[in-house]
């Protein structure tokens, strides 16, 4: 029994060690580091995660002090003690992340959540796996990459003008055109999204992984329309490609770039300021200059909406007084484990804002799980398209 208990302790320490390197991977993938360097770093850290348990079980478990074969922990070499102490702290962090996932619930501002599964492969009745990067992952058993969740969420926001009651925003993110999933997959998803007849369409970045797929815009985002317009920002994967060409192509298709300057939109007697940030990869945070709609009109915005590729800019948005922030980038972790939740999430906050709705003060953040990814693998974390309906806090009839 003592050997089993010691084996469990070594296993706990191995998990804590892995958690520490996962923390490093998540944070470094939130920084403006180019893809080649990130891959090298990740491969090194993943190798360390595999090798450490082997060294730990052999050295501490079987040799000195050999706790798996009757040895005493008191004989542990001094240099192992700080290492194992840090690993124990890592395990506590692992437990904290798991409990946070289990206890998560949307803030009170989200009053309703409905979802519908769209099985794209069955709907189109064709093979949707192309020859792009990591295409072999798309065909793995239990992969949910072709089972897209269309979510409808309702928010009550205190500063929303009464005339905007029921404003509908389509939130898209992370299409990742690479050729791995065929063009038809994205055409069908965009067609379904357009059928929701939103008032406003927002794309939150990461469009292109292979420049050869840029002409896919002709059949996907280009045909999409909304009465109040279609707006976009780019993401870190677009930064790895020819971001200028991607930006220009989207603008030619009628989409409005929110990173040039904040866009002040007049609607039903009130004004909506839309701003975008691609920090930390491109540009700088927008300045809230409250521009006039017409020269000399002196109009100011009644509602502030920020589109940020990463949720890491949420706390900055809170300080700036934004009402609503729309983000993507994290893919919800792509792979979620039962009870544990997501593990790998490219964010300075780790898995805290992996997906869902969050609130600080009067600012609400919605993080989309996105549609795709360079790695076409989803387990317990389906791709997502979201329709957000905004209500005033004093609305009586829903």
What value does the mean pLDDT take over residues 129-142? 94
- 356 and 334 in contact (C-beta within 8 Å)? no
pLDDT score at 383: 97
Q: How confident is the model at residue 394 (pLDDT cuts 50, 70, 90)?
A: low
Q: What is the model's pLDDT at position 296?
A: 40
Q: Which CATH superfamily is domain 110-392 in?
A: Metallo-dependent phosphatases (3.60.21.10)
Tell me the domain boundaries of the chain.
2-103, 110-392
Q: How far apart are the first and last CA of the chain?
A: 60
- Give the DSSP letter string of 186-249: HHHHHHHHHTT--SEEEE-S--BSSGGGGGGGGGTTTT---TT-EEE---HHHHHS-HHHHHHH
Q: What is the CA radius of gyration of the chain?
A: 24
Please state the rounded mean pLDDT for residues 152-181: 96
Residue 376 has pLDDT above 70, yes or no: yes
Kindly report the number of other CB atoms within 10 A of residue 319's CB atom.
Answer: 10
Distance between alpha carbon 60 and the CA centroid of its chain, in Å?
39
95 preceded by cis ω (within 30°)? no
Beta strands 324-327 and 363-367 are: parallel
pLDDT for 290 equals: 52
Q: What is the pLDDT of residues 280-329, one digit of tens each?
A: 999 999 987 654 444 444 446 799 999 999 999 999 999 999 999 999 99
Percent of the chain whose pLDDT exceeds 90: 92
Q: How high is the pLDDT of residue 361? A: 94
> What is the secondary structure of 64-112 as a DSSP string?
SS-GGGT--GGG--TTHHHHHHHHHHHHHHHHHHHHHHHH----TTEEE
Of 30, 47, 29, whose CA–CA distance to 38 is shortest?
29
The pLDDT score that the predictor gives to residue 291 is 45
């Amino acid at each position: 029994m003592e050997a089993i208990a010691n084996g469990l302790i070594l296993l706990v320490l191995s998990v804590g060690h892995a958690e520490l390197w996962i923390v490093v991977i998540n944070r470094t993938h939130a920084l403006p580091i180019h893809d080649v360097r990130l891959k090298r770093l990740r491969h090194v850290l993943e190798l360390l995660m595999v090798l450490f348990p082997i060294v730990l079980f052999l050295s501490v478990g079987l040799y000195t002090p050999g706790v798996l074969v009757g040895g005493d922990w008191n004989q542990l070499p001094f240099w192992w003690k700080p290492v194992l102490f840090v690993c124990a702290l890592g395990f506590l962090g692992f437990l904290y992340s798991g409990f946070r996932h289990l206890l998560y619930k949307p803030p009170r501002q989200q009053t309703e959540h409905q979802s519908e599964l769209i099985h794209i492969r069955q709907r189109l009745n064709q093979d949707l796996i192309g020859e792009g990067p990591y295409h072999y992952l798309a065909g793995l058993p239990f992969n949910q990459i072709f089972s897209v969740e269309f979510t409808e969420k309702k928010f009550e926001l205190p500063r929303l003008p009464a005339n905007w009651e029921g404003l509908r925003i389509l939130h898209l993110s992370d299409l990742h055109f690479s050729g791995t999933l065929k063009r038809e997959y994205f055409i069908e998803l965009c067609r379904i999204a357009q059928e929701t007849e939103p008032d406003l369409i927002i794309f939150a970045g990461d469009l292109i992984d292979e420049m050869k797929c840029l002409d896919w815009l002709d059949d996907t985002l280009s045909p999409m329309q909304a009465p109040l317009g279609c707006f976009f920002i780019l993401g870190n994967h677009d930064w790895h490609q020819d971001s200028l060409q991607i930006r220009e192509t989207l603008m030619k298709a009628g989409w409005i770039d929110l990173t040039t300057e904040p866009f002040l939109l007049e609607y039903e007697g009130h004004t909506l300021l839309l701003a975008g940030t691609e920090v930390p990869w491109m540009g700088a945070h927008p300045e809230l200059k409250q521009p006039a709609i017409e020269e000399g009109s002196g109009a100011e915005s009644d509602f502030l909406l920020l589109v940020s590729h990463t949720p890491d800019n949420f706390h900055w948005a809170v300080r700036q007084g934004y009402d609503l922030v729309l983000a993507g980038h994290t893919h919800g972790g792509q792979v979620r484990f039962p009870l544990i939740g997501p593990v790998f999430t490219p964010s300075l906050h780790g898995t805290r804002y992996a997906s869902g709705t969050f609130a600080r003060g009067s600012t609400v953040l919605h993080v989309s799980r996105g549609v795709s990814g360079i790695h076409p693998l989803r387990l317990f974390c389906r791709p997502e398209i979201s329709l957000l309906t905004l209500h005033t806090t004093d609305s009586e009839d829903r």
